[in-house]
Amino acid sequence: MTHPDLTALPDMALENDEPVFREPWEAQAFAMVIDLHQHGVFDWSEWADFLSKEVHSGLERPYYQHWLCALEKIVAAKKLTSAEDLHQRQKDWHAAAAATPHGAPIVLGAR
Amino acid sequence: MTSHDHSHLTETEARVRALESLLSEKGYIDSAAVDEIVQTYETKIGPQNGAHVVAKSWTDPAFREWLETDSTAAIHSLGYTSRQGEHIEAVFNSDATHHLVVCTLCSCYPWSVLGLPPSWYKSPPFRSKAVIDPRGVLEDFGISMPATTKIEVHDSTSEMRYLVIPQRPAGTQGWSSEDLAQLVTRNSMIGTGFARTPKVSS
């Protein structure tokens, strides 16, 4: 996975604003939603509803945490993958990280 | 390996990677396309697109008229098409009326012309205060509007986005569209700022 310099976003006259994406995962989560929509998985208004529910959940979370929660929920609602598979895959990624020397790219299935 | 020399993913990173790997294996997303979207929003789509629209509306009366009657088509004609297919309405600032854009629902934003929203646009204080106290919001941005100027707040939706066309700064007669575009700030196209006034060179 590449780590683009997300602070270099073209925001002219960016007086004292912070970068649009603070971490690479935020950009990934953002782009996945755009791509799923382009594949016709959901209408944009459906996505807006899911995102709005998270934003208005009353939970104090950074914005892209809302985004990610909404993405997990719409993926479940559309039955794209099961919660068990998702959970297992998260464990697989943690295991892969633990088996990868610091600084090397983390690859699924690393032992 | 000890815990000091192996890699670590946060819970959040693992959640994102789990989604990405599963969805791409199943063919719902295309990893290369996801990377390209990130790249595009980094380098190609940003407020410079909206600045182009604004500068053209200042220099080309026919374009301005088109923008007034069918903003979506006029903006598309410059190559700024939306991936989400929503409409964009251009709203024109004047001495009589100042326009301010917000999305109270979540974070709807005219991405094709402004790129990604700044974080204050997504923040709860801005989203709630813009509707209740627009003058106060403008003051937070260092702008005090004369009482004679009406402030119109536009609440974006997933179907309708707004682009504010700021007033052309004084002292720019005869400027090229390219030079004018340099004066158009992102905030001026959301309504939380003005276009810059040219530096007077002595």
Q: Mind listing the pLDDT tens digit for each residue in A35-65?
A: 999 899 998 889 989 999 998 888 888 888 9
- pLDDT > 70 in chain B, percent: 95
Q: Which pLDDT belongs to residue A78?
A: 96
With a cut of 90, say whether residue A12 has pLDDT above it.
Answer: no
Q: What mean pLDDT, rounded, does chain A reach?
A: 80
Q: Which residue in the block uniquely carries the two structure tokens 């199943």?
A: B26
Beta carbons of A9 and B116 less than 8 Å apart:
yes
* Mean pLDDT of the region B3-19: 87
With a cut of 60, say whether residue A7 has pLDDT above it.
Answer: no
* Mean pLDDT of the region B147-166: 94
DSSP string, A36-50: HHHTTSS-HHHHHHH
Neighbours of A82 (CB within 10 A): 12
Q: Which residue in the block uniquely carries the two structure tokens 């090229």?
A: B176
Q: Which long-range contacts (CB under 8 A, 24 or more apart) does A53-58 make?
A: A55/B105, A55/B106, A55/B107
Beta carbons of B46 and A12 less than 8 Å apart:
yes
| Minimal CA separation from A55 to chain B, in Å | 6
With a cut of 50, say whether residue B69 has pLDDT above it.
Answer: yes
Determine the angle formed by the axes of helices A44-55 and A63-77, rounding to 10 degrees.
130
- The full length of chain A comes to 111
With a cut of 70, say whether residue A8 has pLDDT above it.
Answer: no
List, for residues B75-84, the tens digit of each pLDDT value: 999 988 876 6
B106 belongs to the catalytic site: yes
| Minimal CA separation from B150 to chain A, in Å | 26
CB of B143 within 8 Å of a chain A CB? The answer is no
Residues of B in contact with A35 (CB under 8 A): 29-30, 33-34, 37
List, for residues B94-140, the tens digit of each pLDDT value: 999 999 999 888 778 888 899 888 878 888 888 889 999 999 999 98
C-alpha distance from residue B163 to each of A37, A53, B100, B160 (Å): 23, 25, 9, 10
* Mean pLDDT of the region B136-151: 93
Beta carbons of B7 and A52 less than 8 Å apart:
no
Residues of A in contact with B55 (CB under 8 A): none
Q: Would you say the C-alpha torsion A33, A36, A41, A42 has a positive or negative sign? A: positive
With a cut of 50, say whether residue A10 has pLDDT above it.
Answer: no
| Minimal CA separation from A16 to chain B, in Å | 11
Going by C-beta distance under 8 Å and a sequence separation of 6 or more, which residues neighbour residue B187? A13, A15, B141, B193
Nearest CB to B185: which of A13, A38, A99?
A13
Q: Which pLDDT belongs to residue A107?
A: 87
* Mean pLDDT of the region B163-177: 96
With a cut of 80, say whether residue B1 has pLDDT above it.
Answer: no
pLDDT band at A3 (very low <50, low <70, confident <90, very high): very low
Report all structural domains of chain B as residue ranges with CATH numbers, in order of start: 9-43 (no CATH), 46-189 (3.90.330.10)
With a cut of 80, say whether residue B33 has pLDDT above it.
Answer: yes
Q: Which pLDDT belongs to residue A106?
A: 86
With a cut of 90, say whether residue A33 has pLDDT above it.
Answer: yes
- The full length of chain B comes to 202
Q: What are phi and psi of B63, to 5 degrees?
A: -65, -40
Q: Which pLDDT belongs to residue B201?
A: 56
Q: Which pLDDT belongs to residue B85?
A: 64
Q: Contact, B80 vs B173, CB < 8 A?
A: no
Q: Contact, A11 vs B186, CB < 8 A?
A: yes
* Mean pLDDT of the region A67-74: 95
Nearest CB to B26: which of A17, A32, A81?
A81
Pick the closest to residue B195 from B185, B179, B65 (CA basis).
B185
> For residue A19, what are its two tokens?
């970068």
The residue with greater pLDDT, B117 or B147, is B147
B202 belongs to the catalytic site: no
With a cut of 80, say whether residue A13 has pLDDT above it.
Answer: no
* Mean pLDDT of the region B57-80: 95
Q: Which pLDDT belongs to residue B18?
A: 96
Q: Which pLDDT belongs to residue B83?
A: 65
- Cα separation, B10 vs A3, whole angstroms: 16
Q: Contact, B134 vs B187, CB < 8 A?
A: no
CA angle A61, A46, B28 (to 5 degrees): 90
* Mean pLDDT of the region B31-60: 89
